[in-house]
Structure 1
Amino acid sequence: MLSYSEIGLAATAIGSSVYLYHRGQGTKKRLPPSPPGSYPFIGHALVLPNEQEHLVYNKWSKELNSDIISLTAAGQTIIVLDSVEAANELLDRRSKIYSDRPQLRVIADPDLLDWGSNTGSAPYGPRWKKQRRITHEVLKPSANARNFELFEKETYAMLKRLATDPNEFWNEFRRTVAGEILLTVYGYTVEDTRDPFVQDNATAVEKFSLAAIPGNFMVNFIPWLKYVPEWFPGAQWKRNIKDWRRLKDRVSSAPYNWTKAQIASGSAAPSMVKTYLTSIENDSQCDPVDEEDHLSWAASTIFGGAADTTHASLMCFVLLMARHPEIQARAQKEIDRITNSERLPEINDRESMPYVRRIVQEVLRWQPPLPMGFPHATTEDDEYRGYFIPKGSIVMSNIWSMTRNESVYASPETFDPDRFLDPESPSAPLFGFGRRSCPGNHYAEASLFIMFASMLAAFDIKPKTNPITGKEEIPEPAVKVNALVSHVSPFECSIKPRSNVHKELINSA
């Protein structure tokens, strides 16, 4: 929720003529139902959530008995979709006018974060299409063989480290996930959990996720606020943005420049960046400066987008296994039947391990990494069910709410992999809708499968035992969302090799 100092600045910034214009425009046609809390000049700015968005929007949708609701903030229309049906109709079937991204001022403005050139934020057009083609090179099915080999290599190395010291498993998970992507995209090998590329990326993704929520920064609705000096009361956000921009510049360029230096020295490992730079050198018709700009942004977008969401799902998996020993034991039995405890799982085992695959599906449903997805924007006026959706509207999908639809998922708060035995039970719509859907769904699911299966094959994951009482302390399934990505709250657990046989298996992998 916006601070009063920000609201004061906003009121100063908006003239009554602008307010009356937008108000007049909005009353000509009927917008979708709106929650209470709208005021002159600022609209719903006082009630826009900046944490647990998915819960607030779901509550409003229920109260309004509508799977499409609208809000306004200083003339900006925000549409929230609460059902798969509405999202499919608008973002998929009408993708021609729903495939843009809102150019949130705090992200896109060259004087602020200047982060609007990355693939995820770029407007729908030639720039985005070019970067999408580049990312396809690392995510396409024909690249799977090399990707899968890297997944297995990094996962097995993670098992060895966890067998030695499982105490900071969350850092090992982040190192492993980042290591897979850095090796694939840049040819860079992560040596430890303190790697600067890994740490900088984690921080940058956190800050970008905060910036990507429209209601977190009033400057998204009031352009004048960008001129407020940093020392002005309520302008701490300006100082934050200045620091975040320096971090963004470092994350966007450092791994890329490292790869270029490796290529120049003749010691570069295979990678997406190396392959594409070679193709640029061999193409006399292209503009190398322009091509490198696209490549640099596409590479950093893959790194930032995949690392944090995969890490969030891996943490959620461990939490749920510690809470559900019966599900863990059943998965281990399936794995043992295939491997005979003589080897670790491989990607090619997926078809033989349907229960583990269902665990992957259910972890992703139970805690969608992006509970509100990534916002779209309309490029034309539209009408849906008699409601007017103006050009330039921000359109968000409440993916979390879709995973809690009781008519689709019975007892939705229950963690139950067997719900996917029912062919009528669809996978959760985690990767978005329409032309802006994430192209890395197969990449992500394969990465999660090998990590989940390998962890289950090698370790028993249990609640931590209280050293004083001797009782297990079952971790609470708490999830906190104050940015794009949802994370389970910090927790402790026990991760130990299942037996000496399994310990030897880990060490020999």
Structure 2
Amino acid sequence: MIDPSLLLTFAAALFLAYLHLRRRRHSSLPLPPGPKPLPIVGNLFQMPKGHEAQVYEKWGRTYGSDILHVDLAGTSVVIINSAEIANELLERRSSIYSSRPPFIMVTELMGFEGFLSGIPYGETWRAIRRLFHREFHPKAALQFRPLEIEATHDLLRRLLDFHDDFSAHFAHLAGKVIIDIAYGIKVQPDNDPYVRTADLAMEALSEAGSPGAFYVESLPFLKYVPEWMPGAGFKRKAREWHMIADDMFNIPFDIAKANFMKGASVSNFTARCLEAVQGSDESDNSRQEYLIKATAGSMYSAGSETLISTLRTFILAMLYNPEVQKRAQEEIDAVVGHGNLPDFSHQPSLPYIDAIVKEVLRWAPVTPQSVPHVVTVEDTYNGYRIPAKSIVIPNTWAMLHDETVYPNPSAFLPERFLDAEGHIDPAVKDPACAAFGFGRRVCPGRYMAMSSLWITVVSVLAVFDVGKAVDEDGSCVEPSGEYTSGIVVAPLPFKASIKPRSEATKAAVLTRTG
């Protein structure tokens, strides 16, 4: 009789042999196409230093593929240019495509290790995600609508006195909502320090978060180089950005915690969470406070900057497309009434406004390349090998400018989302499917983000005419239409004319806002 242990050993050997042969078969598959790498450094010096998404889209056309591969000094990077591939890999295979790269610059050197978007897939990520979901799932997000309306009405009043920098008013709007929700802190009317810190933090994250932006990501030993050495400017930048990260995560949290300890109202995220963990043992309490601080800080930074950037794109689109603005105002006047301010109850009757919001997200996505994913095991797609630990970059811009999905993609055409009867056409792919990320890493605050964007867009169009600014000679000032580069982008500063449509719309603002 054969010893069962021998059978088990034999079976294990066969299984290991199978895995080895399978791995060899996969390894024999080609990598996705891409630029030819150089010895040792690979494509490190070929990576774009700006407007990366557009470069990746051009590479896709050059190599005839919507999935590309580059080698950054031994780090495998896969670029996805189509929604179909993103859906297959990042959605259907999300169990292996949901982690994040190490982000040495962002986490180790800059101190953003608690930022939700950059945390690797695991228990810490799941814990912070649960806190986010509890606050921002679709039904929970409805509780913030009164605050969103209040902040929007405040924006309208500020725009009545608009002189030059409308972006500052958008920053105040975003800060008024998200800082109140996260910490219960009321922002100052002008030059609020928390709003400024969030702006600086997102500028830093956007610059540092793109693969290839800093060589330390591909050559980790560089993190040990002292600041004074030639070429170590990234270390000096990281030190400055670390101070911003410390301020962003710690200062508002400490204020909210102090207010909670004094018995202040438990009407904000931080206070509600602190109340829930009261009575925990000291070690668990410290862990829970870290999670609360990380979650609130992630809300505070990412939530504000993305809304500001999207609203700047909306204003730019209105400058270029006055006929879109006119049609939107006609719809608002017919449903809401000229001289009245809209609210969320009007949304089902304003499909063209919904279409404008969708087109703003599609036309110039605020995150043209989504935050990179990491595949944890070796995989294959369409005959190509995807090595384990590859960084995977979803090219949101390419997906939302795919002319087979959105004909004439460079044009701002809200009507592309409407059917023949003027209703939202469910057959047209919603750009939110790409604009807010993919799979298990989709933005947990997307429902509130969409409602904030909608109420702001419809309210501005109801009250104001948005047009090109006029210089001292009476000539129109043309915006450049150029955008910044990075993970989060925005139009370069431009001037605009934002004036009340009539005395009736002006009076509506003054009456409702005091």
TM-score by length of 1: 0.91
Between the aligned partners of 2:162 and 2:107, the Cα distance in structure 1 is 42
Does the CA contact (< 8 Å) of 2:78 and 2:392 recur in 1? yes
- Give the counterpart letter for 1:467 in structure 2: E
Q: Of 430, 436, 458, which aligns to 1:431?
A: 436
Describe the shift of the 1:375–1:83 C-alpha distance in structure 2 as closer, same or farther (beyond 3 A): same
Q: Of 181, 199, 203, which aligns to 1:202?
A: 199
Does the CA contact (< 8 Å) of 2:152 and 2:456 recur in 1? yes
Between the aligned partners of 2:452 and 2:66, the Cα distance in structure 1 is 33
The equivalent residue for 1:44 is: 43
Deviations 1:353-380 (A, max 9, x none): 1111110000110010100011000111
Does the CA contact (< 8 Å) of 2:116 and 2:128 recur in 1? yes
The equivalent residue for 2:222 is: 225
Between the aligned partners of 2:391 and 2:26, the Cα distance in structure 1 is 15
The equivalent residue for 2:254 is: 257
SS in 2 for 1:409: coil
SS in 2 for 1:189: coil
Q: Which runs of 4+ in 1 moved over 4 A?
A: 24-29, 282-286
User: What are the equivalent positions in structure 2 for 1:30-41 lying under 5 Å apart?
Assistant: 30-36=30-36, 38-41=37-40
RMSD over aligned Cα atoms: 1.8
Between the aligned partners of 1:441 and 1:248, the Cα distance in structure 2 is 23
Matched, 1:486 2:489: yes
- Give the counterpart letter for 1:83 in structure 2: S
Does the CA contact (< 8 Å) of 1:322 and 1:474 recur in 2? no
SS in 2 for 1:488: coil
The equivalent residue for 2:373 is: 376
Cα drift, residue 276 of structure 1: 1.0
Q: Of 278, 283, 286, which aligns to 1:289?
A: 286
The equivalent residue for 1:104 is: 103
Deviations 1:3-38 (A, max 9, x none): xxxxxxxxxxxxxxxxxxxxx9998542111213x2
Q: Of 274, 277, 288, which aligns to 1:277?
A: 274
- Give the counterpart letter for 2:255 in structure 1: W
The equivalent residue for 1:445 is: 450
Q: Of 287, 306, 316, which aligns to 2:303?
A: 306
Cα drift, residue 417 of structure 1: 0.3
TM-score by length of 2: 0.90
Identity, % of aligned positions: 35
- Give the counterpart letter for 2:169 in structure 1: E
Deviations 1:70-118 (A, max 9, x none): 0001110000001001101111111111000011221232xx2232332
Q: Of 157, 162, 165, which aligns to 1:160?
A: 157
Q: Of 125, 140, 146, which aligns to 2:143?
A: 146
Between the aligned partners of 2:226 and 2:278, the Cα distance in structure 1 is 45
The equivalent residue for 1:458 is: 463
Between the aligned partners of 1:486 and 1:197, the Cα distance in structure 2 is 20
- Give the counterpart letter for 1:158 in structure 2: L
Does the CA contact (< 8 Å) of 1:138 and 1:184 recur in 2? no
Does the CA contact (< 8 Å) of 1:103 and 1:116 recur in 2? no
Matched, 1:390 2:387: yes
Cα drift, residue 54 of structure 1: 0.6
Q: Who wins on radius of gyration, i.e. which is larger?
A: 2
Q: Of 169, 174, 178, which aligns to 2:171?
A: 174
The equivalent residue for 1:11 is: none
SS in 2 for 1:461: strand
Between the aligned partners of 2:87 and 2:401, the Cα distance in structure 1 is 17
- Give the counterpart letter for 1:436 in structure 2: R
SS in 1 for 2:70: strand
The equivalent residue for 2:71 is: 72
SS in 2 for 1:379: coil
The equivalent residue for 2:239 is: 242
Between the aligned partners of 2:274 and 2:498, the Cα distance in structure 1 is 42
Deviations 1:112-131 (A, max 9, x none): 22323321111111110000
Does the CA contact (< 8 Å) of 1:137 and 1:272 recur in 2? no
The equivalent residue for 2:476 is: 472
Cα drift, residue 452 of structure 1: 0.4
The equivalent residue for 2:350 is: 353
Between the aligned partners of 1:360 and 1:182, the Cα distance in structure 2 is 24
Cα drift, residue 233 of structure 1: 0.7
Deviations 1:31-63 (A, max 9, x none): 111213x21111101111121101111111100
Deviations 1:203-233 (A, max 9, x none): 0111011111120111111121111111111
